[in-house]
Amino acid sequence: MQGNAVTTTITIQELAGRIGSEQVSDWVEVSQEMIDKFADATGDHQFIHVNPQMAAMTPFGGTIAHGFLTLSLMPLLSSKIIDAVQIEGVKMGINYGGNKVRFLQPVRSGKRVRGRFKLLELIEKRPGQWQQTNEFSVEIEGEEKPAMIAEWMSQIFV
């Protein structure tokens, strides 16, 4: 992962030594424009996401981000990790999938969120191919409970 403030380049083996470490991103606003664009991209125009007047009459009190929009913020939030590290010699990284995803509370339009990434596992599947498992949570500014928590895997090729 490359962040806004890359300060250190490490080897994949050094990353393996960081199991249990956490990295946190800067805050990002989830605007109504972002929600509307996601609705257009996915075809999910449910009123709780795109109609402020109707959504105001729900227990949410206004529009909320799609759960899948919250999940899809992973690359954006990882690009905004404070004091991110760069892995030496990376050729590419790809999504491998999620072990679990839970949407714990909605992200209201206009709220700011940040990502918390905890490295759970890094194993070499074959020479030059590493499988990384992270706990990824999306925190909502000013709220105790996160919006979402996921266990996500990716493959790193060096």
For the stretch 75-91, pLDDT in tens is 999 999 988 888 999 99
Instruction: Give tens-digit pLDDT for 24-54.
Output: 999 999 999 999 999 999 999 999 999 999 9
Q: What is the pTM of this model?
A: 0.89
Under 8 Å between Cβ of 98 and 151? yes
Q: Give φ, ψ of 18 to 5 degrees.
A: -105, 20
Q: Which two tokens stand for residue 13?
A: 């083996």
Task: Give the pLDDT band (50/70/90) at residue 8.
Answer: confident
User: In the 8-state DSSP scheme, what is residue 27?
Assistant: P
